[in-house]
Amino acid sequence: MGFKEYVGKRTLQGFVTILLAITLNFILFRIMPGDPTRAVSGDPRVDTATRLALIAKFGLDRPLFEQFVLYFYNLLRGEMGISFVQIGRPVVSIILGRKMVNTLVLMGSSMFLAFILGIAVGVVAAWRRGTKTDVSFVLLSLATYSMPVFWFGMLLLMLLSYHLHLVPIAGTITAGVAHPNFLAYAADYLHHLIAPMMTLAVSFFGGYFLFMRDTILDVFTEDYMLTARAKGLSDRKILFKHAMRNALLPMVSLMGVHVTFLISGATLTETVFSWDGLGRLIYDSVRNNDYPVLQGIFLIMAVLVVIASISADIANAYLDPRIKEAA
């Protein structure tokens, strides 16, 4: 199978997964207690005119199958309904905006940090396997993996904010401050980002590290490593040119799958640090029974994850011709 066919196959699979996710999303929110139909027809937070408009648009008085078709049709037009809580605000504008940017910044930066650290330390540990350095890093990473992420966030807050007054307590920017220019704004934002980013990065580090270490150890057993050694290449060259390159491939595909874990961690971290992102929005929406918003976030996240995992797989196949052959 060629590269193009592989890309085609993965894209098709991803498409099917997204369709399934949409279906699941539809079903899930119809079986909620106070499902959208009832919520719309009886929720005192929604006024009569809006209610009638919603019922017409989503066909909430029609049979379930028609509702599903209409739901699908509305989705294609980028229509996800309105929030029950922030009355009248379309779900799309709540999700695709500042909150999404905040979450992407937090997730992206912490993932990047954990990734780099995991690779660097993983290579060192694998190279010195069995030594004290290796064992202590393994133990440390198992310990960080076992730590509840929200608790670590609380500890950081206690130490860095309340004790040392180094970082702000909550939010993404200092409330009530007019920033003179973009640079001041960015500095303030980054200052707020430090603690939640550290929290998430530490919680991801363990997984990346262990995976990288394992993969490198696997690569060491490959024949081409023996060849490299036999050629008389230096340790450094063997490690970075041969071992690390080959170990990076599985790491890339791991990242694709890992996005769902990121989202779970981000939800908890954003709640602890009052970070104004999608994770916190999930928490607030669950508490306020804001189903349309939840449904919207769900779908966006599922699509993001599918795209991430497909891109990771395709990048992998592009970099490693063996996958193309096997696929």
Partner 1 sequence: MVQSSEVAEGSLMEERLSITARRLRGFLSLYRRSWIGMLGLLFILAFIAMALIAPYVAPYDPRALVGLPFRKPSAEFPLGTDQVGRDIYSQLIWGSRVSLMVGLLASFFGVAIGTLIGLVSGYYKGPLDAVLMRITDLFITVPNLPLMLILAAIIGRSMWNIIFVIGFLGWTSTARMVRSQTLSIKERPYVEAARSVGARDRQILWRHILPNVFPLVFANAIVGIVDAILAESGLSFLGLGDPTKPSWGLILRYANEAGALATGRWWFIIPPGLCIMLVAIGFAFSSYSLDQILNPRLRERR
* Binding stretches for partner 1 (CB under 8 A): 13, 16-17, 20-21, 24, 28, 31-33, 129-130, 135, 138-139, 142-143, 145-152, 154-155, 157-158, 162-163, 169, 214, 217-218, 220-221, 257, 260-261, 263-264, 267-268, 271-272, 282-283, 286-287, 289, 294, 297-298, 301-302, 305-306, 309
Query: In the bound complex, what is the minimum distance in angstroms from residue 246's beta carbon to partner 1?
Result: 15
CA atoms lying within 13 Å on the CB side of residue 157: 18
**Using the 8-state DSSP alphabet, how is residue 180 labeled?**
S
Residue 20 or 56 with smaller CB distance to partner 1 = 20
Residue 8 or 61 with smaller CB distance to partner 1 = 8
Query: In the bound complex, what is the minimum distance in angstroms from residue 83's beta carbon to partner 1?
Result: 16
Query: In the bound complex, what is the minimum distance in angstroms from residue 47's beta carbon to partner 1?
Result: 25
Residue 28 or 233 with smaller CB distance to partner 1 = 28
CA angle 262, 263, 269 (to 5 degrees): 85
**Using the 8-state DSSP alphabet, how is residue 90 labeled?**
B
Interatomic CA distance for residues 97 and 278, integer angstroms: 10
Residue 51 or 129 with smaller CB distance to partner 1 = 129
Query: In the bound complex, what is the minimum distance in angstroms from residue 145's beta carbon to partner 1?
Result: 6
Residue 100 or 185 with smaller CB distance to partner 1 = 100
Interatomic CA distance for residues 8 and 16, integer angstroms: 12
Interatomic CA distance for residues 229 and 136, integer angstroms: 28
Element (DSSP H or E) covering residue 51: helix 48-58
Query: In the bound complex, what is the minimum distance in angstroms from residue 56's beta carbon to partner 1?
Result: 27
**Using the 8-state DSSP alphabet, how is residue 59 labeled?**
T
Residue 218 or 320 with smaller CB distance to partner 1 = 218
Query: In the bound complex, what is the minimum distance in angstroms from residue 74's beta carbon to partner 1?
Result: 21
For 152, residues 6+ apart whose C-beta sits below 8 A from its C-beta are 199, 202, 203
Interatomic CA distance for residues 120 and 80, integer angstroms: 43
Interatomic CA distance for residues 29 and 39, integer angstroms: 11
Residue 8 or 187 with smaller CB distance to partner 1 = 8
SS3 82: strand
Note whether 52 and 82 are within 8 A (CB): no
Query: In the bound complex, what is the minimum distance in angstroms from residue 182's beta carbon to partner 1?
Result: 32
Q: Where are the beta strands (DSSP E) in the chain?
A: none
